[in-house]
A and B are shown apart, each in its own frame.
Chain A
Amino acid sequence: MFKKATCFGAIGILLSAAAFADDHMDSMSAEELLPLAQEEGAVIVYSFTSRIGKVEAAFEKAYPGIDLQGFDISSTEQIARLTAEAQAGVTNADVIYVSDTPVVLKALLETGIIASYVPPRVADRVPAEFQSPLLAQRLSTKVLMYNEEANPNGAPIDSLWDLTREEWAGRVVMVDPLQRGDYLDLMTEIVLRSDEMAAAYEAEFGQPIDLDGAASAGERFIIDLFANDVILVGSTDDVNAAVGALGQENPPVGFTSYSDRRDNEDEGWALQVANDVAPAPGIIFPAVVALAAKPNNPAAARLVIDFLMGDETETGGPGLAPFYVAGDYVTRTDIPPHPDAVPLDAFTAWRIAPAETAKIRAEIGDLVLTLQ
């Protein structure tokens, strides 16, 4: 009996010691983490972008002796993989770099598979909304883009409601919202912004919106968009090629990533964002970095997140360089906006609130399902 109690006591002390060690690490600076991280010697990162390859090279150069193993795995796969790994009782990744936050919050954070971490060094330079519940490293987009070559005087439309007009029948392209989570987030945001959609309708057609059985102005828009033969494809690159390809007389418009504009030259595209579309061209959403709940390399993992948030040079140095491109918005307030992109405060896309999105996302998915 006595033995057992001692045993439990010992376990309790061990557990709290481990918890203490982790808490303790949360407040350590990069310099303090470094020797511990070098002792660990390696760190594994799951990343939803292949740019992790560049981070890997830069990180190993900055911190010799720590082997960063970066794995490019899509957000959906990360969620499936981390869930399966948790069920199997295995922790493989130390750092998780992922988008698809509405699902991530529910499936990974609430279930305790991943944990939040904000490097103390940058805590005062990242707005509170991007620190909780998970730290956002940058913002990415799904917005309406048009073909600049065919429309040299600017976007051919000025309101999202234009997309439901006869002249745009069969000429709006997007990825199937039931195949890519970020497009479902876009549809959801349109519904969440129903008031703005209703106002934009009145501005466009000169009369108040007739919901005609739809639950909201946002739903009315989605129904009309599908009735107007919106074209669904399988990937954003298909959208980019359809909208952006040079030499088209009457190109479609489509929802895709603003930052894909960086490939215009390589791919022969003329993609440009329709930033002045009322009420907004689309959504802007966070790409978050988090720790595994019980990382195998806790110090090195924190060091990687610190590195990913950029150093003290003007544009964040090598850790942030792969993400300092036009169309991606770094969350750190002291990093100047990229000169070739619409500045964030002038960018009219809606910021999604992942927790709000998560509430009605499945419902909007069902709506889209009935329209197909």
Chain B
Amino acid sequence: MTDVSMSRQGRRVLFRPGTVLKFVVLALLIALIVLPLFRTVLFTLQPDIIKAWSDVLTGRLSTNLFYKPLGNTLIIGVVVATGCVLLGGFLAWLVVMTNVPFRRTIGVMATLPFMIPSFAAALAWGTLFRNDRIGGQVGWLEGLGLDIPNWLAWGMAPTLIVLTLHYFSLAFTIIAAALATVNSDLVEAAQIAGAKGRRILMGIVLPVTTPALVAAGSLCFAGAVSNFATPALLGLPVRMQTLSTRLFGMIEVGQVGRGYVIGILLVLISGAFLWAGNRIVSGRRSYATITGKGGRAKRFDLRRARWPLFMGAMLILMASTVVPVIVLIASSLAPSSANLFSNWTAHYWTGLSNPSFAQGVPGIIYNADIVRALTVTLALGVAVALTGMTVGLLASYTTARFREGWASAAITQISFLPLLVPGIAFGAAYIAYLGAPIGPLPALYGTFALLVIAGTAYLLPFSVQTGRAVIQQVGGELEESARITGAGFFRRLVSITVPLAIRGLSAGGILIFVKIIRDLSLVVLLFTPTMPVLSVLAYRYASEGFGQFANAITVVILVISITATLIANRLQAKSQPWLKD
């Protein structure tokens, strides 16, 4: 008798909406993310390595090893995230909700900076602002006779500026997608009631886009704290260390234990910050704004502010896109890295092998490896974008529809983890995890599948977060009515949720494609002789002092990224009401 009632109760728990889904998603995320990372933690607990914990946290070295870099890291995270949300939000608002001139141009340009590697932006900063502190060539501004102080040339200030200009497009993409779905009924009602633009912005637009703002801020925060290239290039000459430069250095000099401990702490601390952000969102009951009816509200008229705001937007966009691209292209043409704008040659692109030039390395179009690497890279980009968005959709759908319970919270937290793990550590964890056979499963080392699985797991934060911001706004009522008429879970997902959320999902897909094709840190350990990718080729050139070849390949990657975005924009045109006039 008791048995029957128990099983009945058990069944009720089991079939409570979403329970099965939650656990399927959770199991998937654990297999993709938690298990490989768990191995890293176990590694630091080995008897001869466990001392690294006390070295990092309490020893005489801890100040320089951990606490000072931690302080810098948190400043960077908070300031960059805030700056990105403000900049990205401002541009998204201009493009989606106002009648600023050339909205389409601004909209396209605002998505570009994220595709330019952050080291190119840091390099560009140096080209302009470098002073005579480290000797060699001074930057363009000092060349004009200006005296650039150290704080502007090196360290925290330029790092913050460069990272903000790099990551704000991430915030723009997410916020613009969310703004475009703000229910026109609300805005029109407010307009009829006589509310002014500022009132509508503060009272309606901001509150309903909060999930997107928090998602954008979180992604920018996590990206900024784990960024390595920019603080390494701009911070080192004034000895500014962050947790990521520290981590890289520790692994580089063979103190892997300390490196992993710093990495784990980086994950925990950033996790705590992001958890706090997540709390703010989940405290609210509902953000549903795309409902069964309603159309577009008319745009805010900026009146006399149209052109000044346009100029402001263009200034930001020129600084973050055009300048780094020019530096990147110039450095793929200039034989001397110190004189970017003289003695240009196309050798690095189209030259045949010439023993007296660049040690006989031919231009990249004659490099046999390039074509193969290009194919593998593109296939990898598409495959990871598809698998990533599938898992991302499942996870974000689950957490948005069934937000109660620890399982949903766990899904959200776990899906964020990879963002905080340095790619090289993630790659190493994955080789150990899937490199050898597991039971009946074959070893995946050296296969395309390993690259795809690791890439999917590594970029899940992007797919889940972008999906989540959009799905939370798709009203439950449509799905509700479909369920009443008897549509099953997959039917509802495919016929209702996906079509309504496709914009945000494609935006996420593009982000993932772009991220994976230019990613180096993850694939550098995973690539094998049979699976070359472009970024590894670029790195091989750069590490041997052939920066020009590396930059030429980077330009190729950039062109692919931009083309992908433009094609996606074209395909999406029908579902991008914010770009219509």
Residues of A in contact with B (beta carbons under 8 Å apart) = 44, 49-51, 53-54, 69, 71-72, 74, 76-77, 79-81, 84-85, 87-90, 92, 100, 102-103, 106-107, 170-171, 173, 176-181, 184, 231-234, 237-238, 241-245, 248, 251-252, 254, 260, 263, 266-268, 361-362, 365-366, 369-370, 372
Assess the B254–A50 pair: CB atoms within 8 A. Answer: no
Query: Max chain A CB contacts within 10 Å: which of B135, B541, B547?
Result: B135
Using A80-B251, A233-B237 as known contacts, say yes or no to A266 and B529 having CB atoms under 8 A apart.
no
Assess the B237–A241 pair: CB atoms within 8 A. Answer: no
Bound state CA distance, A75 and B354, in angstroms?
28
Assess the A85–B250 pair: CB atoms within 8 A. Answer: no
Which residues of the other chain, A, contact B436 by a CB distance below 8 angstroms?
Answer: 87-90
Using A74-B543, A92-B446 as known contacts, say yes or no to A173 and B134 having CB atoms under 8 A apart.
yes
Interface size class of B (residues with CB under 8 A): 35 or more
Which residues of the other chain, B, contact A171 by a CB distance below 8 angstroms?
Answer: 135
Assess the B529–A44 pair: CB atoms within 8 A. Answer: yes
Assess the A370–B64 pair: CB atoms within 8 A. Answer: yes
Assess the A242–B249 pair: CB atoms within 8 A. Answer: no
B 535-557 contacts with A by CB, 8 A = 540-541, 543-547
Measured CB to CB, the closest approach of chain B to A144, in angstroms, equals 14
Is B525 in contact with chain A by the CB < 8 A criterion?
A: yes
Bound state CA distance, A58 and B253, in angstroms?
33
Using A170-B133, A243-B135, A266-B358 as known contacts, say yes or no to A179 and B541 having CB atoms under 8 A apart.
no
Bound state CA distance, A370 and B64, in angstroms?
6
Query: Max chain A CB contacts within 10 Å: which of B137, B233, B248, B443?
Result: B137
Q: A76-B252, A81-B525, A181-B254 are in contact. List 13 more A-B contacts (CB 8 A).
A: A76-B251, A171-B135, A176-B236, A178-B246, A178-B250, A179-B253, A232-B239, A234-B236, A241-B337, A243-B136, A266-B357, A266-B358, A268-B336
Assess the A267–B338 pair: CB atoms within 8 A. Answer: yes
Which residues of the other chain, B, contact A248 by a CB distance below 8 angstroms?
Answer: 135-136
B 59-103 contacts with A by CB, 8 A = 60-61, 64-65
Assess the B249–A88 pair: CB atoms within 8 A. Answer: no
- Cross-chain pair count, CB within 8 angstroms: 158
0/1 string, B223-257, CB within 8 A of A gives 1: 00000000011001101010001101111111110
Assess the A79–B545 pair: CB atoms within 8 A. Answer: no
Is B445 in contact with chain A by the CB < 8 A criterion?
A: yes
Bound state CA distance, A243 and B137, in angstroms?
10
Bound state CA distance, A22 and B460, in angstroms?
46
Assess the B252–A180 pair: CB atoms within 8 A. Answer: yes
- Which single member of A79, A242, A268 contacts B254 (CB below 8 Å)? A79
Bound state CA distance, A74 and B536, in angstroms?
12
Is B414 in contact with chain A by the CB < 8 A criterion?
A: no
The 6 closest A-B pairs by CB, nearest first: A88-B435, A50-B544, A242-B135, A242-B136, A252-B135, A84-B431
Assess the B254–A103 pair: CB atoms within 8 A. Answer: yes
Assess the A87–B435 pair: CB atoms within 8 A. Answer: yes
- Which single member of B64, B237, B249, B540 contacts A50 (CB below 8 Å)? B540
Is B24 in contact with chain A by the CB < 8 A criterion?
A: no
Using A80-B251, A179-B245, A372-B64 as known contacts, say yes or no to A267 and B336 having CB atoms under 8 A apart.
yes
Is B528 in contact with chain A by the CB < 8 A criterion?
A: yes
Measured CB to CB, the closest approach of chain A to B348, in angstroms, equals 12
Bound state CA distance, A176 and B241, in angstroms?
11
Bound state CA distance, A248 and B338, in angstroms?
12
